[in-house]
Chains A and B, each alone.
Chain A
Amino acid sequence: MAISYKLQRRKVVHQILKERGDAAVITGIGNAVHDVASFNDDPKNMYLAGVMGGASMVAFGIALAQPKRRVLVITGDGELLAGVGSLATIGVEQPKNMSIIVIDNQAYGATGNQHTHTGSGVDLVGIAAASGFKKTALITTQAELESELPKIHSEPGPYFAVVKVTNKSSPRIDAPRDGTYVARRFRAAVTGESM
């Protein structure tokens, strides 16, 4: 039986975004999109609303192209598990300007809360550490979240944290759904080039 946790995903994500500065934020599919969009629809948000397992590597490509900018991934445990090999690749590549935050509800929240492997003991923090991530954290309380916030935004990475949250979803707040629009708006915002 999976352990239940008290942190609420939306509050956690909003608290992280409050201090993002000029960071680029890449979301995984599902609730991560709504969590980020409900804080604000920043042009430096790239919502990957339709694929499983790609968010970390999209962020890594951005981190390579924009070495002076912090790149944050905000994604779910299901999305990360679908591309878990990415942790090995990023661990080898060692991007200093990248943080991955996994909002771990131990469930596929968008499809009916079926269990993911993290609820059965799969340790994503352990996988990231063993893959070579410089700094990792397991966050289960508000105090732990607050002590990790500065590291999320400025610790030389690659940084990786799992935030264990309750599996209750918050109201759905949609981001713009047209991929071409979101992508071109994002590129213009982070490169300064016109769309």
Chain B
Amino acid sequence: MATKKKKKTDWSKEVFKVLKKADIRQIAYVPDAGHTSLIKMAVADNAIKPVSLTSEQEGIAVLSGAWLGGEAGALLMQSSGVGNVINMLGMANECRFPLLMLVTMRGEWGEFNPWQVPMGQATETVLDAAGVIIHRADDPAEIAETVEAAAKIAFDSGRMVAVLIGQRVVGFKDWTK
């Protein structure tokens, strides 16, 4: 159990380093257990403005504004939130705003809550339909490099990119127990 926990913190630390290297200044989020460490690091970092959202669609809008104002940002959310962003992605697509989304997956590997399954299973399909480039990471060792590659496509090539962090990585602990 202790090793599992350490593993989780480690990938978050590496990902945070990658976000810092990409000069990310705004981190918008709707919490997910899998993003707990990243959110804590974002809040503790003086150069990063953390923005807690009521809904993921606000995140697409705030990151679009970040870019318009000359800064880079990232959106942290759970796969269930992907359904909330689709229409707003139309704006980012039309304007070619760079978007970096880190999505922790639910509704796939060993899911215990049946309500999570429909959106989790639809996540890749709907992001693809909305024109988002999708990178998946199912091994903790490859998450940081995947985020680094995604940040490059997002900010250097001006594209919408989502990194889907598999539920196999995040784990399927029942947080209610």
Contact = CB atoms under 8 A, between A and B. Distances in A.
A85 B54 contact: yes
B97 interface: yes
B70 A58 contact: no
Contacts of A182: 95
A147 interface: no
Contacts of B62: 57-58, 60-61, 64
A190 B73 CA distance: 17
B88 to A, nearest CB: 6
Interface string A48-91: 10111111111111111110000000000000000101101100
Nearest to A64: B49
B114 interface: no
B54 A54 contact: no
A61 B88 contact: no
B65 A50 contact: no
A51 B66 contact: no
A64 B27 CA distance: 11
A191 interface: yes
A90 B94 CA distance: 25
Interface residues of B, number: 31
A55 B54 CA distance: 15
A179 interface: yes
SS class, residues of chain B in contact with chain A? helix
B88 A54 contact: yes
Given A54-B60, A54-B61, A89-B58, A61 B68 contact: yes
A183 B96 contact: yes
Chain A contact surface mostly: helix
A190 B96 contact: no
Contacts of A57: 58, 61-62, 65
A92 B52 contact: yes
B55 interface: yes
Interface residues of A, number: 37
Contact of B71 (A51, A64, A85, A93): A64
A54 B91 contact: yes
A65 B26 CA distance: 8
Given A51-B88, A54-B88, A179-B96, A61 B57 contact: no
B55 A58 contact: no
A23 to B, nearest CB: 13
Given A83-B58, A85-B58, A86-B54, A51 B91 contact: yes
A49 to B, nearest CB: 9
A89 B95 contact: no
Which of B26, B62, B67, B96 has the most C-beta atoms of chain A within 10 angstroms of its own C-beta? Answer: B62
Contacts of A133: none
A159 interface: no
Contacts of B66: 61-62, 64-65
B61 A58 contact: yes
7 contacts: A50-B91, A52-B87, A64-B26, A64-B69, A187-B68, A187-B69, A191-B69
Interface of B: 25-26, 49, 51-55, 57-58, 60-71, 73, 87-88, 90-91, 94-97
Interface of A: 24, 26, 46, 48, 50-66, 83, 85-86, 88-89, 92-93, 179-180, 182-183, 186-187, 190-191, 193
Given A63-B69, A89-B53, A180-B94, 5 more contacts: A26-B65, A54-B88, A64-B71, A83-B58, A179-B95
